[in-house]
Amino acid sequence: MAERIVVIGAGQAGAALCEALRAEGHAGPIALVGEEPAPPYQRPPLSKKYLLGELPRERLFLRPESHYAEHGVELIRGARAARIDRAARLVHLEDGRALPYDRLALTTGARARRLPAAIGGDLAGAFVLRSMADSDALAPQLRAGRRALIVGGGYVGLEVAAVCAARGLRVTLVEAAERILGRVAATRTAAFFRDLHRAHGVDLREGVGVARLIGRDGALAGAELTDGARLEADFAVIGIGAAPDVALAEAAGLACENGVAVDEFCRSSDPDIFAAGDCASFPFEGARVRLESVQNAIDQAQAAAANMLGRARPYAPTPWFWSDQYDIKLQIAGLGAGHDRAVARPGPREGALSVWLFRGARLVAVEAMNDPRAYMTGKRWLEAGHSPDPEALADPARDLRAL
């Protein structure tokens, strides 16, 4: 009899895992459980085109809703998994239903971090941006002349700042760390985007956090910063990262380490439970990492599906990522954490730049701004294990293809 598979989490990874199971030949029943009322959808446009009203709701959906039933996937929307009974192999939903499984996949994603209620994080007008509902709630705030406070200088914060500035809002962005993009990009790349945002009128402050949000009649009216400054604001967007959603896994006794801890085969500490996407941490180059990207969600889900069916397919990615801000497309391949050398190289177009990150003599990442050739070349080199000479790479007169 074909095994029953339950997938908890109907985001990018969950949808990709179900498709991969069918592509790999699984003929048994599949149930995909999602908390949100909508079918699986893309998240990147939530802080870009969808927020601007340039992408209709239906275009967010990864597949038409009918696709799931047509492929034998029971899509259970608006349902929250309450607990996993590993001994009985049951997933209990909050509505009282129990779903039996032979293999279980956790693709529960991550949840946006919020400011504590004690400093005003629960005020009306303090938004996070993780879901379609979050984007729908934020969009009406984006009216020219209004004052927007963006808390956090990561990708979500910078993308929302760009959208607000383009709409004619007065934007202040504060980053508590010493610089924006501190955990996710090189210093030179951060400088590029700092200059870009300031050129578009964003009041960008680094090394300054929020001491408290100031409310008036229960709604946000401003903020007091850690340097003592006070700001007036009509609303705030809190972009201080996301935490892996591991509550179910922890309650079920699964090993967790910055996410559900899985091995190279996407298998958790329970051999019948797998995990993929934003909620999963996995071994990568001698460390344990957790990646929040569309590429990782899809690729790891595909590997998990194969391994759930006994294919023994290790997951060894070349990570890649992108971000759109104003008229700049940032494309990143590899992971630059721990690099000890950065080489900046002007691109062929005005304003284009690529930053190449090395650990010793080894190339570990490329960060390209409006330079797709550099990005694609760097990605190929990383996949092939090729590291060019940094001195030659720094010379813009040298053809990349010859290095």
Q: Are 157 and 176 part of one and the same domain?
A: yes
Would you state the pLDDT for residue 316? 92
Q: Are 104 and 9 part of one and the same domain?
A: yes
Average pLDDT over residues 343-357: 94
Residues present in the chain in total: 403
In a domain, residue 319? The reply is no
User: The domain spanning residue 200 has which CATH number?
Assistant: 3.50.50.60
In a domain, residue 317? The reply is no
pLDDT (tens digit per residue) in 41-57: 999 999 989 999 999 99
Q: Are 234 and 166 part of one and the same domain?
A: yes
In a domain, residue 316? The reply is no
Structural domain boundaries, residue 174 = 114-238
More confident site: 348 or 40: 40
Would you state the pLDDT for residue 259? 98
In a domain, residue 266? The reply is yes
From CA 357, how far away is CA 321, in angstroms rounded?
15
For the chain, first and last CA: distance in Å?
Answer: 55
From CA 253, how far away is CA 286, in angstroms rounded?
25
- pLDDT at position 205 over 90: yes
Would you state the pLDDT for residue 354? 97
Would you state the pLDDT for residue 397? 87
Could you write out the three-class secondary structure of 306-322? HHHCCCCCCCCCCCEEE
Q: Are 101 and 12 part of one and the same domain?
A: yes
The answer to whether 180 and 190 are in contact (CB under 8 A) is yes
In a domain, residue 265? The reply is yes
Helix intervals (H) in 184-320: 187-199, 247-251, 294-308
With H, G, I as helix, E, B as strand and everything else as coil, classify residue 22: helix
Q: What letter would DSSP give residue 43?
A: S
Tokens of 172: 């202040």
Q: Examine the fold and report which residue of 194, 222, 238 is the final residue of a domain before the chain moves on.
A: 238
Q: Examine the fold and report which residue of 277, 308, 339 is the final residue of a domain before the chain moves on.
A: 308
In a domain, residue 313? The reply is no
Tokens of 110: 């991550």
Percent helix / strand / coil, the chain, rounded to 5: 25, 30, 40
Average pLDDT over residues 349-357: 94
Q: Are 19 and 119 part of one and the same domain?
A: no
Count of the separate structural domains present in the chain = 3
Q: Are 128 and 213 part of one and the same domain?
A: yes
From CA 333, how far away is CA 367, in angstroms rounded?
7
Q: Are 234 and 251 part of one and the same domain?
A: no
The answer to whether 159 and 165 are in contact (CB under 8 A) is no
User: The domain spanning residue 391 has which CATH number?
Assistant: 3.30.390.30
- pLDDT at position 2 over 90: no
The answer to whether 328 and 312 are in contact (CB under 8 A) is no
Q: Are 294 and 341 part of one and the same domain?
A: no
Average pLDDT, the chain: 96
Name the band, by pLDDT with cuts 50, 70 and 90, for residue 1.
low
- pLDDT at position 371 over 80: yes
Q: Are 120 and 226 part of one and the same domain?
A: yes
Would you state the pLDDT for residue 68? 97
- pLDDT at position 401 over 90: no
User: What residue type is 110 in one-letter code?
Assistant: A
Would you state the pLDDT for residue 338? 87
Q: Choose among 360, 321, 337: nearest CA to 288.
A: 337
* pTM, 2 dp: 0.94
From CA 343, how far away is CA 319, in angstroms rounded?
20
Q: Examine the fold and report which residue of 238, 257, 280 is the final residue of a domain before the chain moves on.
A: 238
Average pLDDT over residues 94-117: 97
Share of the chain above pLDDT 90, in %: 94
In a domain, residue 320? The reply is no
Average pLDDT over residues 330-335: 96
User: What residue type is 221 in one-letter code?
Assistant: A
Q: Are 142 and 85 part of one and the same domain?
A: no
**Secondary element (H or E) of residue 50:** helix 49-52
In a domain, residue 336? The reply is yes
Q: Are 123 and 213 part of one and the same domain?
A: yes
Q: Choose among 117, 382, 170, 45: nearest CA to 161.
A: 170
Average pLDDT over residues 26-39: 97
Which residues have CB under 8 Å from 134's CB, separation 6+? Answer: 46, 112, 127, 128
Q: Are 211 and 257 part of one and the same domain?
A: no
What DSSP line would sit under 94-145, residue for residue? TTS-EEE-SEEEE---EEE----GGGTTTSBTEE--SSHHHHHHHGGG--TT
Q: What letter would DSSP give residue 243?
A: E
